Amino acid sequence: MQPQTYILPIDRSANPVIERWVKDGQLRATDEQLPGTNGRVYALSPALLSTVCAADDFHLNVGRERIGVPIYRMPEWEYSSIVRASDTFHQHRIAHLIQPLLVSQQVFQADRWIANVIDAVAGAPLVGPQPLTVGEQWSDDGRFVPEATRLIRRHAFWMLQLGFELPPTRDLDGHGLVLGIDVGLRPLVTVALEGDGSWATGGIVRFTPAIWRQLSVAAIAAGVDTVLVKRTARLLRYSAARELIEEGFLVPVAQTARAVVAERLNYAGFERHIVRQMREEAIRDFLTAWLPQRLHAWGIQFVPTDPAFTSRDCSRIGCNHRNHPSEEEERIEIFVCELCGHSMNIHANAALNILRRGLPEVRG
C-alpha cells in the first residue's frame, strides 16, 4: 500500500470552532511542511483524531462538531476509502441518476431526471459506509488513515489534509507513452498520444438556467428543500464527471504513460460562469489536484505547459500557422488551418500542440 494525502478547503463558517480548538490546545502548531500548501500546519489531539469521519458529501465529523468540507471533491479511491470508514455517513439513494447525465444534450430527458431527483431527496437518506456515487472497482481498495489528518491555516482560510493508503496500480518501470491533454467541458479531456492517435472522455449534460429554474419550481411544488435539491444536482453532475475522468482517463494513463503534458491554466482569465462549470464538472479539481497527485504516486512525469493559442495553432508538422477565427468560427468543433487546409477535431488539435510543446521537457 502507498501512503497518499489529499487537501480540501474548509468552509469559513467553521472558523470559530477551529479557533476554539487552537485556544483549548486541541490543535497544536507543528513545523511540518506539507506538499501542496505553504500555510501553518496544525495537528489534532488524540481525542479529536479518534473521531474524524465523513458525515455526508459536504461535511466532516470532528469531535462533537460537524464542519463544512466538500468530501465529494476527492478522487474516487480516496472518496470511497473515507466513506467506508464512516459508519454514520448519510447519503440519498441517487446513484441511478448519474448515468442519465452521460448522454447527449439532445437525448437528456430533463423532466424525468428532475422528478427522480425530487423523489430521491424527499426520502430518508441512507446511513452507513456505502460509497454509492462511485464505480464498483473502487469500493474495496484503499484505507482511510485518520492519524494523518492535519489542518492548515493560510490567512483567514483553513484547509484540511486527509490521509490514505492506496494500493499501487502500476509497475514503475519508466516505460510508456508521452500524452498531451486538452481539458474542456465537452469533452472533458482529450488526449494526444506520442507517435499517433488520440481519444476523448466525452462529457456530461450541460445545465441551462432553465433547467436550474425547473429544479427550483419542482422542489417548491413537492415541498422539498430547494437548496438540498440543487446541491444534490451539483453532486450528481460532479460524480458523473468524476466517473468519466477516473475511468476514461486516469486508469488508462496508469497503464500506458511515462509522462503527461497538460495546460497550465490561469483561471483569472476565464469568464466567471466557465470557472463555475469547470468546478462543478470536476475539471478544475482534476487539473490542479487529481492529476499531479496521481502522476506523482505512479512515478509518471507531469509537465505543465503554456496553453496560449493551442486551439488556434495548426498541429501539422511544418506548418505552424496560427488561425485568427471569428467568434462564430471559434464555436465550431473542427479545426481547419487557414494556410495549409489541415483539418481535425479542434480538441485533438489542441492536445497535439500541448504534447509537442512539452516534449522537450520530458525526461528520457
Q: pLDDT tens, position by position, for the chain (364 residues)?
A: 778 889 999 999 999 999 999 999 999 999 998 877 789 999 999 999 999 999 999 999 999 999 999 999 998 889 999 999 999 999 999 999 999 999 988 999 999 999 999 999 999 999 998 888 887 666 567 899 999 999 999 988 999 999 999 876 665 555 689 999 999 888 999 999 987 788 899 899 999 999 999 999 999 999 999 999 999 999 999 999 999 998 889 888 888 899 999 998 877 666 777 778 888 889 989 998 889 888 887 889 999 999 889 989 999 988 989 998 876 666 778 999 999 999 999 999 999 999 999 999 998 7
Contact criterion met (CB below 8 Å) for 9 and 170: no
Locate the DSSP E strands across 122-216: 126-127, 143-154, 157-166, 177-183, 189-193, 198-200
Helices 226-245, 110-122: inter-axial angle, 10-degree rounding: 110
Could you say which of 167, 187, 221 is where a domain stops? 167
Within 10 Å of residue 271's Cβ, how many Cβ atoms? Answer: 8
pLDDT tens digits for 218-263? Answer: 999 999 999 999 999 999 999 999 999 988 898 888 888 999 999 9
Residue 174 burial (C-beta neighbours within 10 Å; 0-12, 13-18, 19+): exposed
Do 16 and 76 belong to one domain? Answer: yes
Grid coordinates of 265:
491554466
Name the H helices within the chain: 15-24, 46-49, 76-84, 110-122, 209-222, 226-245, 251-256, 272-280, 283-285, 291-298, 327-330, 346-358
Grid coordinates of 253:
494513463
Q: Are β-strands 177-183 and 257-263 bridged in parallel, bridged antiparallel, or unpaired?
A: parallel
Do 262 and 198 belong to one domain? Answer: yes
Q: Which residues pair with 56 in a beta bridge?
A: 59
Do 213 and 320 belong to one domain? Answer: yes
Could you say which of 167, 191, 220 is where a domain stops? 167
Could you say which of 109, 144, 167 is where a domain stops? 167
Do 103 and 63 belong to one domain? Answer: no
Do 84 and 156 belong to one domain? Answer: yes
Within 10 Å of residue 136's Cβ, how many Cβ atoms? Answer: 8
φ/ψ of 260, rounded to 5, equals -130, 130
Query: What total number of domains does the chain contain?
Result: 2
134: domain range? 1-89+128-167
Q: Which of 196, 239, 233 is nearest to 212 (CA)?
A: 233
**Angstrom distances, CA of residue 352 to CA of 73, 188, 199, 330:** 29, 16, 11, 18
**Angstrom distances, CA of residue 292 to CA of 176, 182, 259:** 17, 15, 11
Do 274 and 142 belong to one domain? Answer: no
Do 205 and 353 belong to one domain? Answer: yes
Do 149 and 203 belong to one domain? Answer: no
Do 262 and 343 belong to one domain? Answer: yes
pLDDT tens digits for 174-216? Answer: 568 999 999 988 899 999 998 778 889 989 999 999 999 999 9
Do 1 and 133 belong to one domain? Answer: yes
Three-class SS state of 242: helix
User: What is the reported pLDDT for 254?
Assistant: 85
Contact criterion met (CB below 8 Å) for 151 and 158: yes
User: What is the reported pLDDT for 54?
Assistant: 97
Do 82 and 199 belong to one domain? Answer: no
Do 32 and 156 belong to one domain? Answer: yes
